[in-house]
Amino acid sequence: MPNQDSQRPASERHVPVLLDRCVNLLAPGIERANAEGRRAIVVDCTLGMGGHSEAILQRFENLHLIGLDRDEQAHELAGARLAPFQDRIDLVHAVYDEIADVVEDLGFPGIDGVLFDLGVSSLQLDERERGFAYSYDAPLDMRMDTSVGPTAEDLVNDLDRDELLRIIRQWGEEKFAGRISTAIVEARAKSRISTTAELVEVIRSVVPAAAARNHGHPAKRTFQALRIAVNEELDVLERAIPAAMGALNIGGRVVVMSYHSLEDKITKRHFVQGSTSSAPPGFPVELEEHKAEYKVLTKGTEKPSEHEIAENSRAASARLRAVERVLKRS
């Protein structure tokens, strides 16, 4: 039976993370487009329940928004929330590394802003039957797009011990990955692991209680790792960040909120590469072909304030980076 949250409209269920800061960072690119006599085009690559998109559309009347999400349920909720703006939006069922193809298919030559709010969404966490949360018993699914691909149950029961170890260690940054992967293999030999509660119990059996007290729920990192693996999140992000940067008009901006170090490292690397001159060290004059195409807008990562965390506890681990396109080579 669906929980009570699933019956509420998106506007009541979802508090967007770092909302004002994200919109303010996107604003100059939108305003530049308007000053040039163009309607600004902004892509919300992680539509979710539409909170960020709604705020952008409300603030900027001369703007067209493209909303991407692989989650069909998100499209239903966001579509209802954004219905008042239906003549200014295109909501597309797509993974965000498809951004360049989507923009081209819709007939836009370039875009003026891109927003990524990475990781698992509030919708996916709140819908208990989706299997993203370790705190509720549910089928072990974790797919953001429930129409395709293997589930977390498939991975847990079908991958060999070494591959499970790699996933949990690399993508969950879990120091007990060896114990956990061995315990999973031993448990599934007796009976298939098919629910979140069954997996949590296996993990609890091998993670020391002291570690859980000091570092949060013992299953947190393993669930993160499996979710990343099921949805190929980091591979998708590796393709999506440069694709988004490449689609920008001059003055356009990409804003990225990440929630763990692996996402942030990928974002930082692409932003640094794009904003670094290619002139040889010691070269006396920076030629036009050596100039960086992008400028980093944030000093390191910006973090949420205590007030923002108090308003939305899910903002606590958010890290914000942004970049602007300053040059476009023909």
Is 217 part of any known ligand binding site? no
Q: What whole-number distance in Å separates Cα of residue 246 and Cα of residue 223?
A: 33
Q: Residue 116: in which H helix or E strand, if any?
A: strand 111-117
Q: Is 51 annotated as a binding residue?
A: yes
The 10 Å Cβ neighbour count of residue 172 is 24
Cβ atoms of residues 308 and 315 within 8 Å: yes
User: Does 96 carry a binding-site annotation?
Assistant: yes
Q: DSSP letters of 47-113?
A: -TTSHHHHHHHHH-SSEEEEEEES-HHHHHHHHHHTGGGGGGEEEEE--GGGHHHHHHHTT-S-EEE
Q: What is the rounded (10 degree) CA torsion for 166, 167, 171, 177?
A: -70
Residue 124 marked in a binding site? yes
Check the annotation: does 131 bind a ligand.
no
How far CA 114 is from CA of 158, 225, 251, 277, in Å, comes to: 37, 26, 12, 23
Which tokens in the block code for residue 243? 């694709």
Q: From the CA atom positions of the chain, what is the Rg in Å?
A: 21
C-alpha dist (Å) from residue 157 to 55, 147, 183, 189:
42, 20, 12, 9
Is 50 annotated among the ligand-binding residues? Answer: yes
- CB-based contact 52:117 (threshold 8 Å): yes
Residue 210 tokens read as: 């002291």
Is residue 75 annotated as involved in ligand binding? no
**Residues that constitute the known binding site:** 50-52, 69, 96, 117, 124
**Residues that constitute the known binding site for S-adenosyl-L-methionine:** 50-52, 69, 96, 117, 124
